Amino acid sequence: DAGVIQSPRHEVTEMGQEVTLRCKPISGHNSLFWYRQTMMRGLELLIYFNNNVPIDDSGMPEDRFSAKMPNASFSTLKIQPSEPRDSAVYFCASSEDRGYQPQHFGDGTRLSIL
């Protein structure tokens, strides 16, 4: 079975550039989560979608961050303009929409903003 697929695996770009991270959840999962992981702050939830609708984006750090889920099999997280403090590993996870379901994570995108 294919797991959660994220692309790119690594991204290095200069400050001020637009960055787009992509995620394909597991087929049949209707909950999707974007996380950011850093040494200082650990794994932080940025935004959660259910049935393609954003439910809670209170973890999105600021207006430079935006996320979309145009259909059940694709989501993007965009940073524009990017800043060095955005450097982190960004994970996408999906789960079934039934109580207490575990989350299945992709292998992340390691983002470096120079």
Binding-site ranges for other proteins (CB under 8 A): 4, 31, 35, 42-43, 45, 48, 50, 55-56, 91, 93, 100, 102-108
State in angstroms the smallest separation of the CB of 46 from other proteins. 12
Please tell me the number of Cα atoms within 13 Å of 76 on its side-chain side.
Answer: 9
Tokens representing residue 41 in the block: 């702050």
Measured from the CB atom, the residue of 65 and 91 that comes closer to other proteins is: 91
State in angstroms the smallest separation of the CB of 62 from other proteins. 20
State in angstroms the smallest separation of the CB of 38 from other proteins. 10
User: What is the CB neighbour count within 10 angstroms for residue 89?
Assistant: 16
From residue 56, alpha-carbon distances to 59, 84, 111 in Å are 8, 25, 23
How far apart, in whole angstroms, are the C-alpha atoms of residue 71 and residue 94? 14
Measured from the CB atom, the residue of 14 and 53 that comes closer to other proteins is: 53
Measured from the CB atom, the residue of 6 and 82 that comes closer to other proteins is: 6
